[in-house]
Structure 1
Amino acid sequence: MEFWQELIPAPRPAAAHAEHYPAPMPDGRALVLPLRDYGAIAVTGLIGNQAGFAVQRALCGWMAEAARPFGAEVVVGLPTLGHVFGGPVAEALGHPNWVAPGYSRKKWYDPALSVPTSSSTAPDARRMWLDPRLLPRLAGRRVLLVDDVISTGSSALAGLALLRLAGVEPVALCVALAQGDRWVPDWPAALPVAAAFATPLFRRAPQGWVPDWSTLPRGWPCHPAPAGLYPAPDLRGALLMPRLWLVLGALSGLLAVALSAWAAHGLVLDEADHRRVQSALTMQGWHALALLAVGLLAERRPGARLAHRQAAASRWVRSASAAPSGGWCCAASRSASRRRAARC
Structure 2
Amino acid sequence: MAAVAPHSAEIEALLQHTCTTIPQSQLHVPGPDFIDRSFVGSSRPPQVLRSLGQLYNTGRLAGTGYMSILPVDQGIEHTAGASFGPNPMYFDPENIIKLALEGGCNAVATTFGTFGAVARKYAHKIPFLVKINHNELLTYPNKFDQIMFGSVEEAWNLGATAVGATIYFGSEESGRQLQEVAAAFARAHELGMATVLWCYTRNNAFKTADKDYHVSADLTGQANHLGVTIGADIIKQKLPENNGGFAALKFGKTHKAMYETLAADNPIDLTRYQVANCYMGRIGLINSGGESKGATDRDEAVRTAIINKRAGGQGLISGRKAFQRPFAEGVELLHAIQDVYLDQSITLA
TM more than 0.5: no
Which has the higher Rg, Structure 1 or Structure 2? 1
- TM-score normalized with structure 2 length: 0.30
